Structure 1
């Protein structure tokens, strides 16, 4: 399995769940979860590009 694929997929799932909760009363928590997921996507993508 390629290095960086797991963080990228995990970040996508976490970002989607954070975006789903943006319309609820937990908007601040949802924003944090969304940012955490997007950070995983970016770092995983960097790993994928770096280890071709």
Structure 2
């Protein structure tokens, strides 16, 4: 499995959860969505870095 794919998918799910909480708990929703977006970014960086190095599995 490609390194970085799991954090990117997990971050997408967490971001969606944060957006779903937006109406009831706006501060918590912003924190959860930000945490999820950070995972998406870090996973994408891992995917691009390993593609550039030619370490595709």
Q: TM-score normalized by structure 2? A: 0.87
Q: Which has the higher helix share?
A: 1
Structure 1 gap ranges (5+): none
Taking only aligned residues, the RMSD between alpha carbons, in angstroms, comes to 0.4
If asked which structure has higher relative contact order (CA below 8 Å, sep 6+), I would say: 1
Structure 2 gap ranges (5+): 52-57
Q: How many residues align?
A: 51
- Asked which structure has the greater CA Rg, the reply is 2
Q: TM-score normalized by structure 1? A: 0.95
Residue 4 (1) aligns with residue 4 (2): yes
Find runs of 4+ consecutive structure 1 residues off by over 3 angstroms. none
